[in-house]
Amino acid sequence: MASLTPLAEGPEFDKIRAIWRALGDHGAGAGDDCAIVELGSETVALSSDMAVEGIHFRAGWLEPRELGWRAGAAALSDLAAVAAQPRGVLVSLALIPEWPDEFVAELMAGVGDVAASVGALVWGGDVVRGDRLVVDVLVVGTVADPVLRTGAQVGDELWVTGRLGGPARAIAAWEAGIEPERTARERFAHPEPRVAAAMWLRDEGATALIDLSDGLVQDAGQLAAASGVRCVIDVDAVPRHPAVDDGETALASGEEFELLVALPVDAEPDLARRFGQEHGLELTRIGAVESGAGLELQSGGEPVAPPAGFRHF
Amino acid sequence: MASLTPLAEGPEFDKIRAIWRALGDHGAGAGDDCAIVELGSETVALSSDMAVEGIHFRAGWLEPRELGWRAGAAALSDLAAVAAQPRGVLVSLALIPEWPDEFVAELMAGVGDVAASVGALVWGGDVVRGDRLVVDVLVVGTVADPVLRTGAQVGDELWVTGRLGGPARAIAAWEAGIEPERTARERFAHPEPRVAAAMWLRDEGATALIDLSDGLVQDAGQLAAASGVRCVIDVDAVPRHPAVDDGETALASGEEFELLVALPVDAEPDLARRFGQEHGLELTRIGAVESGAGLELQSGGEPVAPPAGFRHF
């Protein structure tokens, strides 16, 4: 059977494990943010990301062009999470027939905008009829030297890009029927795939990378499972988006598309300053890699219970 | 703006034209069965194919493993349609949470089966929550010398692989609440991507290829529009699946995944026999490529009106 990168516990991951067992020899190794395959002279990274209206977003929250940007960014973030250079994008759309062609064109223009922002083109896709909007974005990148989620070493330190919780804050506002704060809305509508940041971190010696699509708690658990280590995170160190006033939101907020990165301890102390200068973005040390398994959250050196992250099932 | 291969008239294609206009410089040339791009030393063909339960199929018609085969075959057929060698597949699934993990694993095993049947592997994908099954299959192939739908020359002859109408016949039976004839059901449940046949036809000098995912009438119209020619098809020559007793069904039946191919006239007369020997499949001459535009159907040398094909919108 093809090797599957170890995944954390949970019903979503039971499903993925069942799939890879059933595929047997017909599957290639998987379980990272991207599939990594050799095609001729290139190492190619591929990933897909599907979003269903009414489950992953509501059409009324965003303009069509923002919907497209967001869907594209979510998929491109998976390329960032292995430090790949995005090359092209395919988009499959299930559309309600009543949607005017201008909406569809705007949505795809949004995908084109975010692809171009990281050096990729829209190569094609499929348009079919549906009874609600479904957007599946497939991204293809090239990568000479991928940084996987399997490489964290005991003694490494854990860092996170940006400030967390904005998307969760925006969603909570919409669900309460109010318009989110502008900056939180912006974090949801226009996430930036951290492609340049990931390459920079790779060049600084990053041993493991993962994007925070499922939220810091869940994705740190994945990194720990994949690397066969224990991640210890100081919840008081986790940087919060300015609109976020509680730590739980920052820990659980999914759809972040920031990066969690493991770096050797000697990367300090100038790293964050140089990163900020280069990328206009914060890089914050939030924890360490220890021997053991799973994720431990601490506050003042004492263990604390994790909040629930977003679950796909 | 990126070049878009000319498409036939129709609201579905207006939508695609609007998308490519909106993408401007952020889109690469499209409009064929696959996107064709250069990646390092390889020419890569990519395509995606999305199917929504209740619109493109009903879950009760097929076993989960058959659903997976069929979804994979539909996408792999696009690689056949440019004579590419399939390499890998990514699958995005929106799943009803109540679906047992065994169903999902069986569905993916079906994708793995059809991928392996043409030399490809399942590389990865995405699994998300939905309120109905959505399957999007992305296929990646390599191709030194693609056969596009743009290359048909005036004077070529038009040929079709296999016998048409089986899938439409099966769908009509299910929609009438009866079980389809076994062979018609099989054509719907287990279509074979004509990968080897397409490569053989390329080596015999095929000038243009398209698969019959939207039915012979629609796809012959696409080939005519893309090549800037007129396709003339003798409806009496179109080979019908044994369970099909009317010519209209064979002309309009989509989801066929047989190939329509343009070949120079001097390919005759031994071609069909050698093709049959090699592929265990019929190859039938059904018409010719003339100067002009659009599709003309003839019977006894006289023009006849086309039936309606499957429309995505």
pLDDT at B312: 42
A30 falls in which pLDDT band (50, 70, 90)? low
Neighbours of B241 (CB within 10 A): 23
pLDDT at B3: 60
The verdict on a CB contact (< 8 Å) between B27 and A142 is no
For residue A99, pLDDT over 90 is answered with: no
Give A50→chain B minimum CA distance, Å. Answer: 6
pLDDT at B47: 95
3-state secondary structure of B39: strand
Chain B CA closest to residue A5: B124
Give A276→chain B minimum CA distance, Å. Answer: 29
Chain A CA closest to residue B19: A105
* Cβ-Cβ contacts under 8 Å, A27 against chain B: 112, 121-123
Domains of chain B: 11-142 (3.30.1330.10), 157-304 (3.90.650.10)
**Helix A64-80 × helix A101-117 angle, to 10°:** 30
Q: Which of A19, A69, A211 to mutate to test the interface with B (most CBs of B within 10 A)?
A: A19
Chain A CA closest to residue B38: A87
The verdict on a CB contact (< 8 Å) between B56 and A128 is yes
Give B12→chain A minimum CA distance, Å. Answer: 8
A39 falls in which pLDDT band (50, 70, 90)? very high
- Span A170-191, mean pLDDT? 94
For residue A268, pLDDT over 80 is answered with: no
* Cβ-Cβ contacts under 8 Å, A134 against chain B: 50, 52, 94, 130, 134, 136
For residue A63, pLDDT over 90 is answered with: yes
Q: What is the 3-state secondary structure (H, E, C) of chain A?
A: CCCECCCCCCHHHHHHHHHHHHHHHHECCECCCCEEEEECCEEEEEEEEEEEECCCECHHHCCHHHHHHHHHHHHHHHHHCCCCEEEEEEEEEEECCCCCHHHHHHHHHHHHHHHHHCCCEEEEEEEEECCCCEEEEEEEEECCCCCCCCCCCCCCEEEEECCECHHHHHHHHHHCCCCCCHHHHHHHHCCCCCHHHHHHHHHCCCCEEEECCCCHHHHHHHHHHHHCCEEEEEHHHCCECCCCCCHHHHHHCCCCCCEEEEECHHHCCCHHHHHHHHHCCCEEEEEEEECCCEEEEEECCEEECCCCCCCCC
Give B63→chain A minimum CA distance, Å. Answer: 15
The verdict on a CB contact (< 8 Å) between B48 and A92 is yes
User: For the complex shown, is ipTM > 0.95?
Assistant: no
Average pLDDT value for chain A: 91
Of A41 and B268, which is predicted with more confidence? Answer: A41
Distance from C-alpha of B281 to C-alpha of B163, rounded to nearest angstrom: 9
Q: What is the pLDDT along chain B (313 residues), one digit of tens a residue?
A: 346 778 777 777 788 888 888 888 888 866 678 999 999 889 999 999 999 998 888 888 999 999 999 999 999 999 999 999 999 999 999 998 888 889 999 999 999 999 999 999 999 989 999 989 999 999 999 999 999 999 999 999 999 999 999 999 999 999 999 999 999 999 999 999 999 999 999 999 999 999 998 899 999 999 999 999 999 999 999 999 998 988 888 998 888 899 999 999 976 679 999 999 999 999 999 999 999 999 999 999 999 988 764 444 4
* Cβ-Cβ contacts under 8 Å, B88 against chain A: 28, 35, 37, 46
The verdict on a CB contact (< 8 Å) between A18 and B44 is no
pLDDT at B268: 61
Distance from C-alpha of A190 to C-alpha of A68, rounded to nearest angstrom: 10
- Is A206 within 8 Å of A267 (Cβ atoms)? no
A5 falls in which pLDDT band (50, 70, 90)? confident
Chain A CA closest to residue B142: A39
pLDDT at A311: 47
CB within 8 Å of A214: residues ≥ 6 apart: A222, A254, A309, A310, A312
Beta partners for B57? B53
pLDDT at B267: 65
- Span A56-67, mean pLDDT? 90
A228-264 confidence digits (pLDDT tens): 999 999 999 999 999 898 888 899 888 889 999 999 9
Distance from C-alpha of B59 to C-alpha of B61, rounded to nearest angstrom: 6
**Helix B166-175 × helix B182-189 angle, to 10°:** 110
Two tokens, residue B58: 């009903």
Question: Which string of DSSP letters, residue by residue, matches B141-166?
Answer: EE-SS---TT---TT-EEEEES-B-H
3-state secondary structure of B26: helix
Does A191 sit behind a cis peptide bond, omega within 30 degrees of 0 on the bond before it? no
The gap from C-alpha A130 to its chain's centroid, in whole angstroms, comes to 27
Side-chain half-sphere exposure of B299, counting CA atoms within 13 A: 9
Distance from C-alpha of A287 to C-alpha of A261, rounded to nearest angstrom: 10
pLDDT at B246: 84
Q: Length of chain A in residues, anyone?
A: 313
The verdict on a CB contact (< 8 Å) between B136 and A122 is no
Closest CB to A94: pick one of B22, B24, B52: B52
- Span A198-227, mean pLDDT? 95
* Cβ-Cβ contacts under 8 Å, A22 against chain B: 105-106, 108-109, 112
Q: Is the dihedral of CA B185, B191, B197, B201 positive or negative?
A: positive
pLDDT at A32: 76
Q: Which of A14, A50, A95 to mutate to test the interface with B (most CBs of B within 10 A)?
A: A50
Distance from C-alpha of A178 to C-alpha of A252, rounded to nearest angstrom: 21
CB within 8 Å of B273: residues ≥ 6 apart: none
The verdict on a CB contact (< 8 Å) between A39 and B44 is yes
Chain A CA closest to residue B107: A19
pLDDT at B287: 97
Closest CB to B47: pick one of A122, A124, A312: A124
Instruction: Read off the amino acid at residue A89.
Output: V
Beta partners for A284? A160
Two tokens, residue B146: 């693609």
The verdict on a CB contact (< 8 Å) between A26 and B131 is no
The verdict on a CB contact (< 8 Å) between A127 and B12 is yes
Distance from C-alpha of A216 to C-alpha of A213, rounded to nearest angstrom: 8
